[in-house]
Structure 1
Protein backbone atom coordinates (compact mmCIF):
# COMPACT_ATOMS: atom_id res chain seq x y z
CA UNK A 1 0.00 0.00 0.00
CA UNK A 2 1.46 3.35 -1.03
CA UNK A 3 2.52 5.74 1.72
CA UNK A 4 1.12 9.25 2.15
CA UNK A 5 2.94 12.53 2.71
CA UNK A 6 0.98 15.19 4.61
CA UNK A 7 2.72 18.56 4.34
CA UNK A 8 1.86 21.33 6.76
CA UNK A 9 2.83 24.56 5.02
CA UNK A 10 4.31 27.36 7.11
CA UNK A 11 7.44 29.28 7.99
CA UNK A 12 10.05 27.92 10.42
CA UNK A 13 11.06 29.56 13.68
CA UNK A 14 9.35 31.15 16.70
CA UNK A 15 8.68 34.46 14.91
CA UNK A 16 6.06 32.82 12.70
CA UNK A 17 4.83 30.04 14.99
CA UNK A 18 1.49 31.61 15.94
CA UNK A 19 0.64 33.35 12.64
CA UNK A 20 -2.24 32.57 10.27
CA UNK A 21 0.27 31.56 7.57
CA UNK A 22 1.38 28.68 9.83
CA UNK A 23 -1.95 26.90 10.26
CA UNK A 24 -0.52 24.05 8.16
CA UNK A 25 2.19 23.51 10.79
CA UNK A 26 -0.48 23.60 13.50
CA UNK A 27 -2.52 20.89 11.79
CA UNK A 28 0.62 18.75 11.32
CA UNK A 29 1.40 19.17 15.03
CA UNK A 30 -2.15 18.10 15.91
CA UNK A 31 -1.86 14.96 13.76
CA UNK A 32 1.52 14.07 15.31
CA UNK A 33 0.02 14.56 18.79
CA UNK A 34 -2.83 12.18 17.90
CA UNK A 35 -0.26 9.64 16.72
CA UNK A 36 1.76 10.19 19.94
CA UNK A 37 4.86 10.35 17.76
CA UNK A 38 7.35 13.25 17.89
CA UNK A 39 8.80 15.12 14.95
CA UNK A 40 12.48 14.52 14.23
CA UNK A 41 14.93 16.42 12.02
CA UNK A 42 16.66 13.84 9.79
CA UNK A 43 19.91 15.02 8.23
CA UNK A 44 19.55 16.38 4.72
CA UNK A 45 15.74 16.27 4.82
CA UNK A 46 15.12 20.08 4.89
CA UNK A 47 12.16 19.54 7.18
CA UNK A 48 10.87 18.09 10.43
CA UNK A 49 9.39 14.63 9.92
CA UNK A 50 7.01 12.38 11.82
CA UNK A 51 6.51 8.80 10.59
CA UNK A 52 3.30 7.09 11.67
CA UNK A 53 0.29 5.15 10.40
CA UNK A 54 -3.38 5.96 9.96
CA UNK A 55 -6.24 3.49 10.21
CA UNK A 56 -10.00 3.62 10.73
CA UNK A 57 -9.19 4.19 14.41
CA UNK A 58 -7.25 7.35 13.46
CA UNK A 59 -3.64 8.50 13.47
CA UNK A 60 -1.29 6.11 15.21
CA UNK A 61 -3.77 3.30 14.53
CA UNK A 62 -2.77 -0.27 13.78
CA UNK A 63 -4.36 -3.14 11.92
CA UNK A 64 -4.66 -4.59 8.45
CA UNK A 65 -6.06 -1.31 7.09
CA UNK A 66 -3.27 0.88 8.54
CA UNK A 67 -1.52 3.04 5.95
CA UNK A 68 1.95 4.54 6.34
CA UNK A 69 1.95 8.34 6.67
CA UNK A 70 4.82 10.80 6.79
CA UNK A 71 4.05 14.23 8.28
CA UNK A 72 6.33 17.03 7.10
CA UNK A 73 6.94 20.58 8.29
CA UNK A 74 9.45 22.16 5.88
CA UNK A 75 12.38 23.99 7.46
CA UNK A 76 12.63 26.14 4.33
CA UNK A 77 10.63 29.35 4.17
CA UNK A 78 7.17 29.20 2.59
CA UNK A 79 8.30 30.21 -0.91
CA UNK A 80 10.84 27.33 -0.93
CA UNK A 81 8.54 24.66 0.57
CA UNK A 82 8.64 22.62 -2.61
CA UNK A 83 12.34 21.81 -2.16
CA UNK A 84 11.61 20.08 1.16
CA UNK A 85 8.53 18.33 -0.26
CA UNK A 86 10.41 17.00 -3.30
CA UNK A 87 13.23 15.77 -1.05
CA UNK A 88 10.77 13.92 1.21
CA UNK A 89 8.92 12.42 -1.79
CA UNK A 90 12.19 11.09 -3.20
CA UNK A 91 13.44 9.74 0.14
CA UNK A 92 10.17 8.03 1.14
CA UNK A 93 9.26 7.06 -2.46
CA UNK A 94 5.93 8.90 -2.46
CA UNK A 95 4.27 10.07 -5.69
CA UNK A 96 2.62 13.52 -5.91
CA UNK A 97 -0.86 11.94 -6.04
CA UNK A 98 -0.25 10.73 -2.47
CA UNK A 99 0.74 14.18 -1.17
CA UNK A 100 -1.64 16.34 0.88
CA UNK A 101 -0.77 20.04 1.35
CA UNK A 102 -2.44 21.72 4.33
CA UNK A 103 -2.45 25.49 3.93
CA UNK A 104 -4.11 28.80 4.77
CA UNK A 105 -6.55 30.24 2.22
CA UNK A 106 -7.41 33.96 2.05
CA UNK A 107 -10.29 33.39 -0.37
CA UNK A 108 -12.27 31.27 2.11
CA UNK A 109 -13.94 32.82 5.15
CA UNK A 110 -12.56 31.82 8.52
CA UNK A 111 -13.96 28.43 9.45
CA UNK A 112 -14.50 27.31 5.86
CA UNK A 113 -12.67 24.19 4.76
CA UNK A 114 -12.20 22.73 1.28
CA UNK A 115 -10.58 19.44 0.36
CA UNK A 116 -9.65 19.09 -3.30
CA UNK A 117 -7.29 17.41 -5.72
CA UNK A 118 -5.22 19.40 -8.20
CA UNK A 119 -5.70 22.98 -9.30
CA UNK A 120 -3.64 26.17 -9.40
CA UNK A 121 -1.75 27.87 -6.60
CA UNK A 122 -4.15 30.85 -6.26
CA UNK A 123 -1.26 33.15 -5.34
CA UNK A 124 -0.08 30.93 -2.48
CA UNK A 125 3.73 30.86 -2.47
CA UNK A 126 3.94 27.46 -0.78
CA UNK A 127 1.70 25.81 -3.37
CA UNK A 128 3.55 27.56 -6.21
CA UNK A 129 6.85 26.18 -4.92
CA UNK A 130 5.39 22.68 -4.55
CA UNK A 131 4.06 22.74 -8.12
CA UNK A 132 7.44 23.90 -9.38
CA UNK A 133 9.50 21.27 -7.54
CA UNK A 134 7.09 18.36 -8.07
CA UNK A 135 6.51 19.26 -11.73
CA UNK A 136 2.74 18.96 -11.25
CA UNK A 137 -0.19 20.42 -9.35
CA UNK A 138 -1.82 17.00 -9.09
CA UNK A 139 -1.71 16.62 -5.33
CA UNK A 140 -4.38 16.94 -2.63
CA UNK A 141 -5.02 20.17 -0.75
CA UNK A 142 -6.73 20.89 2.54
CA UNK A 143 -7.58 24.59 2.30
CA UNK A 144 -8.04 26.22 5.71
CA UNK A 145 -10.06 29.45 5.40
CA UNK A 146 -8.59 32.44 7.23
CA UNK A 147 -10.61 35.15 5.46
CA UNK A 148 -9.46 38.42 3.96
CA UNK A 149 -7.73 41.12 6.04
CA UNK A 150 -10.02 43.82 7.42
CA UNK A 151 -10.10 47.28 5.87
CA UNK A 152 -6.96 48.17 3.95
CA UNK A 153 -4.58 45.88 5.83
CA UNK A 154 -2.00 44.34 3.53
CA UNK A 155 -2.55 40.60 2.94
CA UNK A 156 1.10 39.74 3.71
CA UNK A 157 0.92 41.69 6.98
CA UNK A 158 -2.36 39.92 7.84
CA UNK A 159 -1.08 36.37 7.31
CA UNK A 160 2.26 37.00 9.06
CA UNK A 161 0.83 38.69 12.15
CA UNK A 162 0.13 36.54 15.25
CA UNK A 163 -3.41 35.24 15.61
CA UNK A 164 -5.19 37.59 18.07
CA UNK A 165 -5.72 36.18 21.57
CA UNK A 166 -9.49 36.60 21.11
CA UNK A 167 -9.45 34.12 18.20
CA UNK A 168 -7.03 31.49 19.52
CA UNK A 169 -9.72 29.19 20.92
CA UNK A 170 -11.65 29.39 17.64
CA UNK A 171 -8.47 28.54 15.73
CA UNK A 172 -7.81 25.56 18.01
CA UNK A 173 -11.28 24.19 17.22
CA UNK A 174 -10.78 24.67 13.47
CA UNK A 175 -7.29 23.12 13.51
CA UNK A 176 -8.76 20.01 15.13
CA UNK A 177 -11.50 19.91 12.48
CA UNK A 178 -8.98 20.20 9.62
CA UNK A 179 -7.00 17.36 11.23
CA UNK A 180 -10.22 15.30 11.27
CA UNK A 181 -10.72 16.09 7.58
CA UNK A 182 -7.18 15.03 6.63
CA UNK A 183 -7.71 11.80 8.57
CA UNK A 184 -10.96 11.18 6.69
CA UNK A 185 -9.32 11.94 3.33
CA UNK A 186 -6.64 9.30 3.92
CA UNK A 187 -8.96 6.66 5.38
CA UNK A 188 -12.22 7.16 3.43
CA UNK A 189 -11.12 8.85 0.20
CA UNK A 190 -11.72 12.30 -1.23
CA UNK A 191 -15.44 12.17 -2.07
CA UNK A 192 -16.52 10.92 1.35
CA UNK A 193 -14.28 13.42 3.13
CA UNK A 194 -15.54 16.29 0.94
CA UNK A 195 -19.14 15.38 1.70
CA UNK A 196 -18.41 15.48 5.41
CA UNK A 197 -16.12 18.47 5.69
CA UNK A 198 -16.32 20.83 2.70
CA UNK A 199 -18.16 24.01 3.58
Structure 2
Protein backbone atom coordinates (compact mmCIF):
# COMPACT_ATOMS: atom_id res chain seq x y z
CA UNK A 1 0.00 0.00 0.00
CA UNK A 2 1.34 3.42 -1.00
CA UNK A 3 2.17 5.81 1.84
CA UNK A 4 1.78 9.57 1.41
CA UNK A 5 3.87 11.74 3.73
CA UNK A 6 3.51 15.51 3.99
CA UNK A 7 6.45 17.47 5.37
CA UNK A 8 8.65 20.48 4.66
CA UNK A 9 9.67 20.44 1.02
CA UNK A 10 13.26 19.43 0.25
CA UNK A 11 15.25 22.11 -1.60
CA UNK A 12 16.29 19.53 -4.18
CA UNK A 13 12.63 19.16 -5.20
CA UNK A 14 12.01 22.82 -6.02
CA UNK A 15 12.86 22.42 -9.71
CA UNK A 16 10.38 19.54 -10.02
CA UNK A 17 7.82 21.66 -8.16
CA UNK A 18 8.22 24.38 -10.80
CA UNK A 19 7.56 21.78 -13.53
CA UNK A 20 4.37 20.60 -11.80
CA UNK A 21 3.19 24.21 -11.53
CA UNK A 22 4.01 24.99 -15.16
CA UNK A 23 1.95 22.00 -16.30
CA UNK A 24 -0.94 22.48 -13.89
CA UNK A 25 -1.23 26.21 -14.58
CA UNK A 26 -0.74 25.84 -18.34
CA UNK A 27 2.22 28.20 -18.64
CA UNK A 28 2.81 26.85 -22.15
CA UNK A 29 -0.34 28.68 -23.28
CA UNK A 30 1.54 31.96 -22.77
CA UNK A 31 4.69 31.13 -24.73
CA UNK A 32 6.06 28.39 -26.98
CA UNK A 33 9.65 29.48 -26.37
CA UNK A 34 11.23 26.78 -24.16
CA UNK A 35 13.82 29.16 -22.69
CA UNK A 36 11.17 31.75 -21.78
CA UNK A 37 9.00 29.00 -20.30
CA UNK A 38 11.88 27.66 -18.20
CA UNK A 39 12.82 31.10 -16.92
CA UNK A 40 9.22 31.99 -16.10
CA UNK A 41 8.50 28.79 -14.19
CA UNK A 42 11.67 29.25 -12.15
CA UNK A 43 10.82 32.90 -11.56
CA UNK A 44 7.22 32.18 -10.51
CA UNK A 45 8.27 29.51 -8.02
CA UNK A 46 11.06 31.67 -6.58
CA UNK A 47 8.81 34.72 -6.23
CA UNK A 48 6.14 32.70 -4.42
CA UNK A 49 8.76 31.03 -2.24
CA UNK A 50 10.01 34.46 -1.14
CA UNK A 51 6.58 35.51 0.13
CA UNK A 52 5.68 32.22 1.87
CA UNK A 53 5.92 31.22 5.52
CA UNK A 54 5.14 27.52 5.07
CA UNK A 55 6.32 25.24 2.25
CA UNK A 56 5.06 21.66 2.36
CA UNK A 57 5.86 18.80 0.01
CA UNK A 58 3.94 15.58 -0.57
CA UNK A 59 6.01 12.39 -0.83
CA UNK A 60 4.46 9.16 -2.10
CA UNK A 61 6.62 6.27 -0.92
CA UNK A 62 9.46 8.79 -0.69
CA UNK A 63 8.96 10.27 -4.18
CA UNK A 64 8.11 13.97 -4.44
CA UNK A 65 4.62 14.32 -5.96
CA UNK A 66 3.24 17.75 -5.04
CA UNK A 67 3.51 20.85 -2.89
CA UNK A 68 1.65 23.72 -1.26
CA UNK A 69 3.11 27.08 -0.25
CA UNK A 70 1.27 29.54 1.98
CA UNK A 71 1.75 32.77 3.91
CA UNK A 72 0.23 33.40 7.34
CA UNK A 73 0.26 36.58 9.41
CA UNK A 74 2.72 36.63 12.30
CA UNK A 75 5.00 33.94 10.86
CA UNK A 76 8.53 34.34 9.53
CA UNK A 77 9.06 33.89 5.83
CA UNK A 78 10.99 30.83 4.78
CA UNK A 79 14.70 31.46 4.15
CA UNK A 80 15.53 31.99 0.48
CA UNK A 81 19.07 32.08 -0.92
CA UNK A 82 20.54 35.34 -2.18
CA UNK A 83 21.05 33.68 -5.56
CA UNK A 84 17.34 32.95 -5.91
CA UNK A 85 16.50 36.51 -4.80
CA UNK A 86 18.94 37.91 -7.35
CA UNK A 87 17.39 35.72 -10.06
CA UNK A 88 13.89 37.08 -9.28
CA UNK A 89 15.18 40.65 -9.46
CA UNK A 90 16.93 40.01 -12.79
CA UNK A 91 13.89 38.33 -14.37
CA UNK A 92 11.64 41.20 -13.29
CA UNK A 93 13.99 43.61 -15.01
CA UNK A 94 14.03 41.43 -18.14
CA UNK A 95 10.23 41.30 -18.16
CA UNK A 96 10.24 45.09 -18.16
CA UNK A 97 12.21 45.02 -21.42
CA UNK A 98 10.01 42.48 -23.21
CA UNK A 99 6.49 42.23 -24.57
CA UNK A 100 5.43 40.17 -21.56
CA UNK A 101 5.25 43.22 -19.28
CA UNK A 102 1.79 44.24 -20.52
CA UNK A 103 0.28 40.80 -19.98
CA UNK A 104 1.83 40.32 -16.55
CA UNK A 105 0.85 43.86 -15.57
CA UNK A 106 -2.77 43.27 -16.57
CA UNK A 107 -2.84 40.05 -14.53
CA UNK A 108 -1.34 41.73 -11.46
CA UNK A 109 -3.69 44.70 -11.72
CA UNK A 110 -6.71 42.39 -11.84
CA UNK A 111 -5.50 40.61 -8.70
CA UNK A 112 -4.78 43.89 -6.91
CA UNK A 113 -8.25 45.22 -7.69
CA UNK A 114 -9.90 42.08 -6.32
CA UNK A 115 -7.76 42.14 -3.17
CA UNK A 116 -8.56 45.81 -2.54
CA UNK A 117 -12.25 44.85 -2.44
CA UNK A 118 -11.54 41.75 -0.34
CA UNK A 119 -9.18 43.26 2.27
CA UNK A 120 -12.01 44.36 4.57
CA UNK A 121 -12.62 40.66 5.29
CA UNK A 122 -9.33 40.70 7.25
CA UNK A 123 -7.71 37.58 5.79
CA UNK A 124 -5.09 35.87 7.96
CA UNK A 125 -3.32 33.96 5.25
CA UNK A 126 -2.86 33.25 1.56
CA UNK A 127 -2.31 30.04 -0.38
CA UNK A 128 0.54 31.30 -2.53
CA UNK A 129 1.45 28.31 -4.75
CA UNK A 130 -0.01 24.84 -5.12
CA UNK A 131 0.46 22.02 -7.62
CA UNK A 132 0.74 18.25 -7.88
CA UNK A 133 2.20 15.85 -10.40
CA UNK A 134 -0.34 15.92 -13.28
CA UNK A 135 0.36 12.23 -13.93
CA UNK A 136 -1.06 11.30 -10.52
CA UNK A 137 -4.58 12.67 -10.71
CA UNK A 138 -7.12 10.80 -8.61
CA UNK A 139 -4.76 9.91 -5.75
CA UNK A 140 -6.04 12.78 -3.53
CA UNK A 141 -2.58 14.31 -3.26
CA UNK A 142 -3.89 17.85 -3.65
CA UNK A 143 -6.70 17.15 -1.19
CA UNK A 144 -4.26 15.81 1.39
CA UNK A 145 -1.99 18.84 1.06
CA UNK A 146 -4.93 21.19 1.56
CA UNK A 147 -6.16 19.10 4.50
CA UNK A 148 -2.73 19.47 6.14
CA UNK A 149 -2.95 23.26 5.85
CA UNK A 150 -6.46 23.16 7.32
CA UNK A 151 -5.24 21.03 10.22
CA UNK A 152 -2.38 23.39 11.01
CA UNK A 153 -4.31 26.63 10.56
CA UNK A 154 -7.85 25.76 11.63
CA UNK A 155 -10.37 28.64 11.60
CA UNK A 156 -8.06 31.06 9.77
CA UNK A 157 -9.50 33.06 6.89
CA UNK A 158 -7.43 32.54 3.74
CA UNK A 159 -7.56 33.50 0.10
CA UNK A 160 -5.83 32.62 -3.15
CA UNK A 161 -5.55 33.86 -6.70
CA UNK A 162 -6.28 31.61 -9.66
CA UNK A 163 -7.62 31.91 -13.19
CA UNK A 164 -9.64 30.17 -15.86
CA UNK A 165 -6.50 28.49 -17.26
CA UNK A 166 -6.22 26.49 -14.02
CA UNK A 167 -8.43 23.88 -12.38
CA UNK A 168 -10.05 26.41 -10.06
CA UNK A 169 -13.08 24.11 -9.71
CA UNK A 170 -10.95 21.97 -7.37
CA UNK A 171 -11.04 24.76 -4.80
CA UNK A 172 -14.79 25.22 -5.13
CA UNK A 173 -15.27 21.54 -4.30
CA UNK A 174 -13.11 22.08 -1.20
CA UNK A 175 -15.29 24.84 0.20
CA UNK A 176 -13.67 27.92 -1.32
CA UNK A 177 -16.01 30.59 -2.63
CA UNK A 178 -15.51 33.03 -5.48
CA UNK A 179 -15.14 36.48 -3.95
CA UNK A 180 -14.07 38.32 -7.08
CA UNK A 181 -13.57 37.80 -10.78
CA UNK A 182 -11.87 40.02 -13.34
CA UNK A 183 -11.77 39.31 -17.08
CA UNK A 184 -8.51 40.29 -18.77
CA UNK A 185 -7.35 40.27 -22.36
CA UNK A 186 -3.75 39.18 -22.79
CA UNK A 187 -3.83 40.03 -26.48
CA UNK A 188 -3.58 36.44 -27.71
CA UNK A 189 -6.25 33.76 -27.87
CA UNK A 190 -9.33 33.70 -25.67
CA UNK A 191 -9.74 36.27 -22.87
CA UNK A 192 -8.94 34.97 -19.39
CA UNK A 193 -10.79 35.39 -16.11
CA UNK A 194 -8.85 35.96 -12.89
CA UNK A 195 -10.43 34.83 -9.62
CA UNK A 196 -9.94 35.56 -5.95
CA UNK A 197 -11.23 32.63 -3.89
CA UNK A 198 -11.55 32.51 -0.11
CA UNK A 199 -12.54 30.21 2.72
CA UNK A 200 -12.20 29.72 6.47
CA UNK A 201 -10.02 26.72 7.14
TM-score bucket of the superposed structures, by smaller chain: 0.3 to 0.5
- TM-score after normalising by structure 2: 0.35
The two structures have a TM-score, normalised by structure 1, of 0.35
More strand by share: 2
Larger Rg: 2
The structure carrying a bigger helix percent of its residues is 2
Structure with more contact order per residue of length (Cα contacts < 8 Å, sep ≥ 6): 1
